[in-house]
A and B are shown apart, each in its own frame.
Chain A
């Protein structure tokens, strides 16, 4: 373990453990009003009339007519309305907001509003969608030749469903106008995203918008783009009221109407010749929902990882993010990768099974290694530690021996073990860091020789306050207690980019390290000094061409292996997780406890997605699983034996060797779990989640 990895008391520990940390719902401002949104109850309709009750004094309604700028929320594109115009495109689309001094009265008024809809036929099934928001294709080698010359071609389709971030703190914002300005604060990952969206929707100069992050109770991607929408609505209301307005979502509202992981349908056509894979032809559909939000980038990441950790010289990947009349999907930890990694890992298992060879040995034969080309004809520039990670996980859980032993069991209780191999591309996809984000960060040395970090990245629980401060303190050679990082306020910090894409520590952390190195050289005791650093693309990169979809999609990759062992009770169809093991390469851990916590939490989210987290629609497009009582996430008793290990594999352009970490663990839990189910029940599964009901179906067929 590196010296920097030794854990330290987290910067935000004391405030949070004592309950003193204030989250947005804890913020109360004099004269503050409360807002609640009226959401569409139809999946596709024209609004023909809205009948309002008599509003008591002090209560009013805010809608599209109150938007002083453009009635659009700037995300990647700007197609999401702040408030619905003439039509609604999904159940939950915000139509208007009721605002007033008493929350209960606001809620009562909301109940009394009648919206008259002219209903239209919604498209709910992504396979029947007639609009592709994004349609991308890339290839390398000659896939048609590979397919034509193959000994065998394996074809299979995989499906994954919604996954809800289920952060414990629901979405919330407070907006307050003052003089010519508007301040918005709340739960968010990306203050400057919110800032940009507000500028457009309010029609204000950028300098008149201030965005402040409050302590944020979990994000997992769910607070990447959605807060921009809620911030615009809340700010429009505050402007109309000329008073502070607070909007905090209830759990049901949050689960039903905020962005989730994109459901997917992936079809793989794999050419095999002489026992080896010679080509893959992959077709991917992601369900965007009603608006584009982040679907373009989510789709790209899914497509880039579609061949997994395997070398495929002849490759074609076609992807579409399609429009349906369902809630817009967005970022969720892994960002498009968990869907295709589920598909590729299962595909590899199934091909091996058909060919009568061991799945892990078959995978090992095809592993990428340093110097190999990536899917997009970039390069794996650095060591790929998968072989030693396989060895280690086998030592930990006895995978190979168990896998054989669990084949073809009979009897009531049947065990199974499964494995998944995966990576996560570190940082923004393609040339995003260089061309779009252009991160700027500063450190300020105060006259008392304390140091403050000025960056727009947020701590939403992943420990950034601690890891950023550790990097700066260690580089400067000063005490950790003398370095501070406050929640970002766009009036005070430069735009160092959003807190997404497992980029903050690797990219912004490195800028901070370099700034600290300079400050150390220029250090003048007792004087105020400011050092600024700007992003520069590492020189080894093969530039990514977004039109051709070629080049290094990522500078480097974090690698991992998961294994999950389960036991199915064939009488009740319930499944018990006996053990879950993960080996992770995140370069170097800047804080071992923090990285362990990230890996453990992400792994459990993956096992949740595989086994219990189900979210379905009814035929009217309404989400049925909209509460914690019917959208079930893992509790402390579900996966008791969860073991994670971190290996060192320093990355030369990351601070102290660190690479991306946050999303990696959410990528591989599901395929490992499902592979274990297949091992136990001697079956083939190509759909997520695999719930108890699914197990029951298989067992009933077996008995029939």
Chain B
């Protein structure tokens, strides 16, 4: 069994060491916010926060996860920081089809955790591993800027 911390809870998975974290999160733990967009680490739809850093869960082998902290949107959405991002994204209608959004929200968290007052360039670089085909990114970039302002002190 592979033991790790998933959204704050200690869990054990029967998965093999060479299975993808993405597949295990979706099928064994039924965490469907983690989306499969490409399975080659290009699109970011399956982003999770792995030991504090944004990671494409399709590129993470289960063997690597033992003892780690994994956060998905199911865990993150219970936080105050998420509530700020949720409102910020709503205020500029930054969500269209929504498929990239769980990854985008976790990428937003990682940007703000590293730098609570990021420049537009830093925001754009911070989400450059997360593809969005709908928005042209403008609204998402704005939303993260708004969250930084509205959530002062939280990050």
Listed in ascending order, the chain A residues whose CB lies under 8 Å from chain B are 7, 9-10, 12-23, 25-26, 28, 165-170, 215-220, 250-251, 460-463, 591, 593-594, 596-597, 599-605, 627-629, 633, 635-637, 639-640, 642, 644
Contacts and interface: CB of A to CB of B under 8 A. Distances in A.
Given A10-B95, A597-B138, A639-B136, 16 more contacts: A19-B33, A21-B98, A23-B99, A166-B133, A217-B98, A218-B97, A218-B134, A251-B38, A251-B40, A461-B134, A593-B93, A597-B134, A600-B139, A601-B132, A628-B40, A640-B120
Interface string B91-117: 011111111111001000000000000
B99 A168 contact: yes
Contacts of A14: 86
Nearest to B37: A168
Contacts of A19: 32-33, 72-74, 77, 101-102, 105
Contact of A17 (B86, B131, B135, B138): B86
B139 A627 contact: no
Contact of B32 (A26, A170, A627): A26
A218 B139 contact: no
Contacts of B10: none
B36 interface: yes
A10 B90 contact: yes
Contacts of A604: 136-137
B131 A9 contact: no
A600 B138 contact: yes
A20 B32 CA distance: 8
Q: Which 8 pairs, one residue from A and one from B, show the smallest C-beta to C-beta distance?
A: A19-B33, A461-B97, A16-B98, A217-B99, A600-B136, A593-B93, A461-B96, A628-B42
B133 A636 contact: no
B89 interface: yes
Contacts of B120: 640
19 contacts: A7-B93, A18-B77, A19-B74, A19-B105, A168-B100, A168-B133, A169-B35, A215-B98, A218-B96, A591-B93, A601-B136, A604-B136, A605-B133, A627-B38, A628-B37, A628-B43, A633-B131, A635-B129, A637-B124
Contacts of B21: none
Contacts of A21: 98
Most buried by B among A13, A591, A602: A13
B133 A251 contact: no
B140 interface: yes
Residue among B43, B82, B130 with max Cβ neighbours from chain A (10 Å): B43
A644 B45 CA distance: 27
Contact of B45 (A15, A26, A168): A168
Contacts of A7: 93
Given A600-B135, A633-B133, A216 B97 contact: yes
Nearest to B31: A19
B55 interface: no
A167 B99 CA distance: 9
A675 B7 CA distance: 50
Task: Determine the main DSSP class of B at the interface with A.
Answer: loop
Contacts of B141: 636
B77 A640 contact: no
Most buried by B among A167, A169, A463, A627: A169
Nearest to B102: A19
B128 interface: yes
Contacts of A603: 136
Nearest to A21: B98
Nearest to A169: B99
Nearest to A216: B97
B27 to A, nearest CB: 9
Given A461-B97, A628-B42, A628-B43, A18 B92 contact: no
A639 B135 CA distance: 12
B125 interface: yes
B71 interface: no
A170 B46 CA distance: 14
A433 B141 CA distance: 39
A48 B113 CA distance: 60
B127 interface: yes
A593 B73 contact: no
Contacts of B101: 16-17, 19
